[in-house]
Amino acid sequence: MATLIDGSAVAARIRQNLRARVDALAAQNRPVRLDAILVSSADETAAHVYAQNQARTCKSLGIDYALHELPAVASQREIVQLIRRLNTDPNVHALMVHMPLPPGVDIYTVRAAIDPAKDVEGVSPANIGAIVYEHTSLAPCTALAVMRLIDETPLAGDAIKGKRVVIVGASDIVGKPIAAMLMGREATVMSCNKFTDDLPALAREAEIVVAAAGVAHLVTADWVKPGAVVVDVGIHRVPVTGDPTGVKLRTVGDVDADSVSTVAGWLSPVPGGVGPVTVAMLLANVVAAAATAAAAPDE
């Protein structure tokens, strides 16, 4: 059976380390704060619950949280104007924009408006591009989390050099940055998407499979080489099998964990794998942005 890569334990260690850094900055009269923009959406309750959870997580580390809400009818211009105002506010050093955005708003334009030095989700074109140069100080949090979890396995550090990695999914913020980071570590990377021919056969050749396609239970045992490392990025809420009411939901990933765990050597579970480490990486970026702002001379 595969060894589970315990993302919750990794996240707890990261948070413990961050707490000390937040306290040290506060002692220098440099409080750490995360500013988040939330545009109301059809799924308003879920977005607010997410923001409340984020506020609670920040508070547990001594990080202040400022939520800037815009109505669902907010235009792209209004969103970008708010970002520009926060970009120039000296009290703001860590800024993020909650997804989803209203229909018709161009996500690239919004991301490109964020000051790269404050872009703690690592989604601005400057920060995405910096990954190719291996400047990963404010890189996308999920990609950082995947790298961190691989480092919990025997393929940590230099052991990954030359190893074959199949990444299932090539989105701009998840699959592509993961591919660039793994190339930086000198792995042999294959970036795959929904058009890739005979993906299970390719995946079976790989020492590492990263599943980030957004398709529940896509990766099954016949995709996995015995002993391989499998990192599951997917998050899906699906009905609990056998629940007669059909209303109970559970969280699953892109990997069919029951079958894959009989073949893989290492597997990151869902929940408790990439998810909590992604949250911890966002907080690490917040603290890094605050520390950089604190180190810069006052204007």
User: Which residues are near ligand NAD by CB under 6 A?
Assistant: 142, 168-171, 174-175, 192-194, 199, 212-215, 218, 233-235, 274-275, 278
Which residues, 6+ apart, have CB-to-CB distance to 16 below 8 Å? none
Q: How far is the CB of 9 from ligand NAD (least distance, A)?
A: 16
- The alpha helices in the chain, defined as continuous H runs, are 7-27, 44-60, 76-88, 107-113, 125-130, 141-150, 175-184, 199-204, 257-260, 274-295
Q: How far is the CB of 273 from ligand NAD (least distance, A)?
A: 8
Q: How far is the CB of 175 from ligand NAD (least distance, A)?
A: 5
Nearer to ligand NAD by Cβ, of 175 and 265: the residue is 175
Q: How far is the CB of 173 from ligand NAD (least distance, A)?
A: 6
Q: Which residues of 210-225 are buried (b: 16+ CB within 10 A; e: fewer)?
A: bbbbbebbbbeeebbb
Q: How far is the CB of 93 from ligand NAD (least distance, A)?
A: 23
Q: How far is the CB of 256 from ligand NAD (least distance, A)?
A: 13
Under 8 Å between Cβ of 168 and 255:
no
- Closest among 80, 185, 98, 197 to 143, alpha carbons compared: 185
- Closest among 265, 257, 174 to 212, alpha carbons compared: 174
Nearer to ligand NAD by Cβ, of 265 and 273: the residue is 273
Q: How far is the CB of 296 from ligand NAD (least distance, A)?
A: 30
Tokens of 191: 């970036």
Q: Which residues of 131-144 are buried (b: 16+ CB within 10 A; e: fewer)?
A: beeeebebbbbbbb
CA triple 87-290-280, angle to 5 deg: 105
Nearer to ligand NAD by Cβ, of 121 and 207: the residue is 121
Under 8 Å between Cβ of 293 and 138:
no
Under 8 Å between Cβ of 185 and 161:
yes
Nearer to ligand NAD by Cβ, of 95 and 199: the residue is 199
